[in-house]
Amino acid sequence: MGGELPMTHPPNFASGTVWTGDNLPVMRGINSGCIDLIYLDPPFNSNEDYAAPIGSRAAGAAFKDTWTLSDIDVYEHGELAERSPAAYAVIDAARQTHGKSMMSYLIMMAVRLIEMRRILKETGSIYLHCDDTAVHYLKLLMDAVFGARNYRNTLIWKRTSAHNSAKKFGRITDKILFYSKTDEATWNKVSQPYDKEYIEKFYRFEDRLGRYRAGDLTGAGLRSGDSGKAWRGENPSSKGRHWAVPMKVLTDEYPNLDLGSLSTQEKLDLLDKAELIHWPKRGTVPSLKRYLDLSKGVPVQELVIDIRPIGSRARERTGYPTQKPVALLDRIISASSNEGDMVFDPFCGCATTLVAADRLNREWAGIDLSPLAVKLVDQRIRDDRGALWGGAIVRDDPPLRTDFGKLPNYRTHRHRLYGEQEGVCLGCDTHFPFKVMEVDHILPRSKGGSDHYENLQLLCTHCNKSKGGKTMAEWLAARGAG
């Protein structure tokens, strides 16, 4: 399969594109390094069949989630052994400990994850949503493909409040494995509101402007300048401390308050005049009022308990099986991408990722096997943007890669390939004279293959004709079956 092209390239498709069909050939046609963020919520290998309720917006959507080796192209298996020996070793271990279904599932995932890594920018990140059916195997697979050092977190999302599981604890969470491609990955600090318990415990005071907590106005240690002197009869030095007016907090919360050129005591005077000083009972130094309304909350944590599953009457509910809440995607997209970035979901279902990306002014694209998913993408974005929206760009043909630069005509490689293959046809393993050998695309151009040398081989006229428009994988599989 040869080396990768790690550079960043422009996307070779338009924002707002949704493909119907298998995501593997589509991703193979996407330029390397053109995606900023990938979120995928693939089938979990849960041994279940999913179907949307009749009458819901998603009625008709269904997919099965049980894997057998016959679901997997035999060629994918061989390709994996060649492209990622580490991933192959993980899959082999899964076969021994868990059985063939897990092995098949992981092969399906591995070949796709390899493509995802290739199309991610160096600053990109990937979030893989799953549950505990396969999360431990998927973690190893992600380590093999993205590198253990690029692992960031496992988000644990509480997707339901209670579940009766026979002879074991209730399974109520999903897991989301978060990896970045490199250390340079985009990261934005995102906050979540404090929970009720925290507010009760710390925001204990209230005045006419609202609820607040007492923030420090002093720091540890003695100082000899202004900050070590008394103010309004209060001298923090007596407690081994000094005045420390938190300028960053004040500039963030009150950008119009101009404290810059004032002495410590003048700053405190001004804060008091603005009713921002909390005067406690005797014996404690005054503190700064930190209003709940102005607080951004806490930085988001890996345990996600504040995003509730989609209720049966929620407006965003489409009825699509396994639909995820927009708020969950909102958090992921806000943390790991910026406005204008390209967000990509190769198992996009009813478009939750795409809707969230669109609302956050990101570019987006998705793929799903189900034609109904595409209909829902269109419907949901139209509900958001209004009737003037031109609609999703619906495609079923893989894009053609443009990141190789201008390639010479593929036929010019005939001599080189003949030498490399020592005159042997790679279809029937027979030696032929030069003139009966034809240059063939391993992955046809109609299926996302390129004229790049790595996608070329020589076949004899007979084999080339018999292969036709199939991929090498499909042709070999069909021959194996026959």
How many residues form the binding site for ligand SAM (CB under 6 A)?
19
Question: Nearer to ligand SAM by C-beta: 130 or 472?
Answer: 130
* Residue 352 touches ligand SAM, criterion: CB under 6 A: yes
CB of 110 to ligand SAM, least distance (A): 13
Among 5, 59, 369, 394, binds ligand SAM (CB under 6 A): 369
Nearer CB in complex with ligand SAM: 342/425: 342
Selected binder of ligand SAM within 36, 41, 79, 115 (CB under 6 A)? 41
Residue of the chain from 349, 366, 427, 449 that contacts ligand SAM (CB under 6 A): 349
Q: Which residue is nearest to ligand SAM (CB)?
A: 349
Element (H, E) at 191: strand 191-192
Smallest distance, ligand SAM to C-beta of residue 167, A: 27
Hey, is 210 helix, strand or coil?
strand
Query: Does the footprint of ligand SAM cover residue 330 (CB under 6 A)?
Result: no
Q: Of 262 and 307, which CB lies nearer to ligand SAM in the complex structure?
A: 307
**373 near ligand SAM (CB under 6 A):** yes
C-beta closer to ligand SAM: residue 22 or 272: 22
CB of 372 to ligand SAM, least distance (A): 9
Distance CA 343, CA 359 (A): 12
Smallest distance, ligand SAM to C-beta of residue 367, A: 5
Q: Is 287 an interacting residue with respect to ligand SAM (CB under 6 A)?
A: no
Which one of the spans 164-172, 180-188, 364-372, 400-408 is the region binding ligand SAM (CB under 6 A)?
A: 364-372
Binder among 203, 347, 364, 432 for ligand SAM (CB under 6 A): 347
Least distance to ligand SAM, CB of residue 158, Å? 17
Q: Smallest Cα–Cα separation from 41: which of 396, 368, 372? A: 368
**Options 40-48, 96-104, 184-192, 335-343: segment touching ligand SAM (CB under 6 A):** 40-48
Residue 265: other Cβ atoms inside 10 A: 15
DSSP 150: G
The reply on whether position 367 binds ligand SAM by CB under 6 A is yes
Which has the closest alpha carbon to 285: 245, 238, 244, 236?
A: 236
Q: Closer CB to ligand SAM, residue 280 or residue 371?
A: 371
Three-class HEC string of 300-351? CCCEECCCCCCCCCCCCCCCCCCCCCHHHHHHHHHHHCCCCCEEEECCCCCC
User: Closest Cα partner for 329 from 306, 353, 347?
Assistant: 353
- For position 368 contacting ligand SAM by CB under 6 A, the verdict is yes
Applying CB under 6 A, does 324 fall inside the site for ligand SAM?
yes
Backbone torsion region of residue 275, taken as left when φ is above 0, otherwise alpha when ψ lies between -120 and 50, otherwise beta:
left
- Of positions 17, 18, 23, 332, contacts ligand SAM by CB under 6 A: 23
Residue 290 within binding range of ligand SAM, rule CB under 6 A:
no
Q: How far is the CB of 315 from ligand SAM (least distance, A)?
A: 15
CA distances from 196 to 173, 200, 317, 444, 447 (A): 22, 6, 27, 58, 54
Nearest to 190 by CA among 341, 301, 335, 362: 335
Find where tokens 């189900």 sit: 370
Whole-number Å distance between alpha carbons of 465 and 431: 17
Nearer to ligand SAM, 288 or 326 (CB): 326
Q: Which two tokens stand for residue 482?
A: 């026959």
Closest CA to 412 of 461, 456, 450, 466: 456
- Verify binding: residue 174, ligand SAM, rule CB under 6 A: no
Q: Least distance (Å) from ligand SAM to the CB of residue 339?
A: 22
Residues in 49-78 that interact with ligand SAM by CB under 6 A: 63
What is the chain's Cα-based Rg?
A: 29
Which residues, other chains included, contact 180 with Cβ-Cβ below 8 Å and sequence gap of 6+?
124, 125, 126, 150, 152, 336
Six-digit token string for 95: 């076969």
In the bound state with ligand SAM, the residue whose beta carbon lies nearer, of 159 and 241, is 159
Task: Work out whether 350 is an interface residue with ligand SAM (CB under 6 A).
Answer: yes
Can you read off the two tokens belonging to residue 132?
């505990």
- Sheet containing 205-207: order of strands: 205-207, 210-215, 287-291, 277-278
Least distance to ligand SAM, CB of residue 362, Å: 16
Whether the Cβ atoms of residue 9 and residue 398 lie closer than 8 Å to each other: no
Q: List interacting residues with ligand SAM (CB under 6 A).
A: 22-23, 41-43, 63, 320, 322-324, 347, 349-350, 352, 367-370, 373
